[in-house]
Amino acid sequence: MRPAVTDLESRLAAYLTARLPGARALEVSGLERIHGGASRETSRFVLRYEQDGRRIERRLILRRDPPGSLIETDRRVEFAAYRAFHGSAVPVPEALWLEEDPAPLDFPFFVMQELSGFESTVPKLLAPPYLEHRAKIGERKWTILGEIAKADPARLGLVGLMPPVALDQCWQRELAHWESVLDEDELEPQPITRAVIRWLRRHPPPPAQKLVVVHADYRTGNFLFDEAGEIRAILDWEMAHLGDPLEDLAWGLGAVWQWSRDGLAGSLLPKAEAIRIWEQASGLRADPSALLWWELFSCVKGQGIWVSGGREFQHGANQDPVLCMSSWMMGNSQDRAALALLGWLA
Amino acid sequence: MARVKPEATHALERLMQALLVEIAPAVQPAYRQASVSIQAMLLLAIREEFDRAAARRVEENRALRALFADAAPAVTEAALGGRLAAAAASEDASLRVPELEAGNRALRALLIELHAHVESLAGPEARRIEAAIWRELSASTERRKLSLAPF
């Protein structure tokens, strides 16, 4: 049983009091669970305290490890990614405190700035007043992804925290990882995904053009947008790692994110236009055969995520119905996306 | 209007509508409200599955057995060929969904072995069988497709 919200508020207040030694009369209120990311429980809250005679109020986000989730990730990497990109051409909220000791709140967590007044969900995107700004949001989405690919991981201080990998080994490391996830978590045979894995091994991609920070879940739904079509923050860096820049480009182009059902990549732009914008922003080239490899890899990775979530739900580690729904619906869509890429979808 | 008792599919639709229209709007906070909406979507998916659960498994198990019967003579590994022939000759012992599903999983696991084996073979017959496998895999996703799915 997880602690009640009020208990969590008081424990969070005790923790933040220790982290803000100059603060007086510190209080936490309004702690409320929100949807956010696949691997952490996300809640918003208000922090108030007095410091140097001033009354300070901050709206913050608590990202806490859950008992079970779609994906198992390192919160230290996610926290570091937010910190690294804060203030850069890649908009992100400010990450404030990381706590890996489970004692304060039962599970590791971190706290970051809340950017309020913006939207992130696909249903909101596909309705007024945001609908008319889809092209602009798409232009910003793939431009910002180009900025992520342009950023130097060493200068960001992320090399080491994120394990480096040789340019010609990026694909092998990622494929081996997600194949092992499937080996461990699948609840039923996956003949399409297994065939895709064999195809990927028979047709290795060229070495990465450069080693970059890969967000690893760069898709519509994982950023905040406003009513003017501007993207205000890139969220959910929980799977970030060093790797091939085409991994991020391919993931966001996946057919499983075409919720608008109009063929637009990420429900935003024609695929070719998204690629053109990314190439211009990143200064890199999306070689069609290499991109196809990473698009098919995305189908393996996606299936790994849906399978893992289904296992968590089935075994009771996490009863969030979205895990069950994803396992059923997205798993089959992912298979269909793979078939389409290989030219076998009827 | 025909006089029929409420069917399970009808009941599931009504439950979904009640969750979406009557219950979800009254639930707070927003996270709980969204969770109720997802539960309503789950009910819609269950309604679709309830209707086709046995039919799609029977159809697929038959298709896989026919595929195995067709492919077995071309298989060059004797043990695999024997298991394919045995699977091709097997039948569903029951129309209960859990038993159909267990049979389906065994057949799909064997399909993975066959697919990998055929990929390693040269010649037009291997390519013909490989194409037949891909066509069956495509059909398998049609059988599982849910109306809410993005693709």
Contact flag A189-B108 (C-beta cutoff 8 Å): yes
From chain A, pick out residues whose CB is under 8 angstroms from the CB of B45. 325, 328-329
Contact flag B150-A259 (C-beta cutoff 8 Å): yes
Q: Which of A32, A258, A336 is closest, CB to CB, to B29?
A: A32
From chain B, pick out residues whose CB is under 8 angstroms from the CB of A344. 134-135, 137-138
**Which letter, b or e, does each residue of A247-264 get, where b requires 16 or more Cβ atoms within 10 Å of its Cβ?**
bbbbbbbbbbbbbbeeeb
Average of pLDDT values for A99-125?
94
B2 falls within a domain:
no
Rounded distance between C-alpha atoms, residue A76 and residue A149, angstroms? 21
pLDDT reported for residue A5 = 59
From chain B, pick out residues whose CB is under 8 angstroms from the CB of A339. 134, 137-138, 141
Rounded distance between C-alpha atoms, residue A237 and residue A110, angstroms? 13
A200, A206, A207, A210: CA torsion to nearest 10: -110
Residue A67: pLDDT over 70: no
pLDDT digits (tens, 9 = 90+) for A174-197: 999 999 999 999 999 999 999 999
B150 falls within a domain:
no
Residue A72: pLDDT over 90: no
User: Shortest Cα distance from B134 to chain A (angstroms)?
Assistant: 6
Place of tokens 């901050």: A58
- Cβ(B140)–Cβ(B96) under 8 Å? no
* Percent of chain A's residues with pLDDT above 70: 95
Report the half-sphere exposure of A66 (CA within 13 A, side-chain side): 23
Contact flag B135-A344 (C-beta cutoff 8 Å): yes
pLDDT digits (tens, 9 = 90+) for A139-156: 999 999 999 999 999 999
From chain B, pick out residues whose CB is under 8 angstroms from the CB of A189. 105, 108-109, 111-112
B1 falls within a domain:
no
Place of tokens 């990109």: A85
Q: Which of A188, A194, A261 is closest, CB to CB, to B150?
A: A261
B70 falls within a domain:
yes
Number of domains in chain B: 1
B101 falls within a domain:
yes
B151 falls within a domain:
no
Ordered by where they begin, the domains of chain A are 5-113 (3.30.200.20), 122-342 (3.90.1200.10)
Residue A280: pLDDT over 50: yes
Binned at pLDDT 50, 70 and 90, residue A313 comes out as very high
B3 falls within a domain:
no
User: Shortest Cα distance from B103 to chain A (angstroms)?
Assistant: 11
User: In this structure, are strands A109-113 and A231-234 parallel, antiparallel, or unpaired?
Assistant: unpaired
Q: Which of A189, A321, A330 is closest, CB to CB, to B109?
A: A189
Contact flag A189-B35 (C-beta cutoff 8 Å): no
Residue A38: pLDDT over 70: no
User: Shortest Cα distance from A163 to chain B (angstroms)?
Assistant: 33
From chain B, pick out residues whose CB is under 8 angstroms from the CB of A329. 45, 146, 148-149
pLDDT (tens, 9 = 90+) of chain B, 151 residues, equals 677 888 999 999 999 999 999 999 999 988 889 899 999 999 999 999 999 999 999 999 999 999 999 999 999 999 999 999 999 999 999 999 999 999 999 999 999 999 999 999 999 999 999 999 999 999 999 999 999 999 9
pLDDT digits (tens, 9 = 90+) for A263-272: 999 999 999 9
Q: What is the pTM of this model?
A: 0.94
DSSP of A36-69, one letter per residue? --SSSEEEEEEEEEEETTEEEEEEEEEEE--SS-
Say which range, A101-110, A276-285, A332-341, B64-73, has the weakest mean pLDDT.
A101-110
pLDDT reported for residue A71 = 54
Rounded distance between C-alpha atoms, residue B100 and residue A24, angstroms? 65
Domain limits for position B80 = 8-144
Rounded distance between C-alpha atoms, residue A293 and residue A341, angstroms? 10
What is each CA distance from A44 to A32, B2, B20, B30, in whole angstroms?
5, 52, 25, 12
- Check residue B41 and give left, alpha or beta (phi > 0: left; psi -120 to 50: alpha): alpha
From chain A, pick out residues whose CB is under 8 angstroms from the CB of B23. none
User: Shortest Cα distance from B59 to chain A (angstroms)?
Assistant: 17
pLDDT reported for residue B85 = 98
B149 falls within a domain:
no
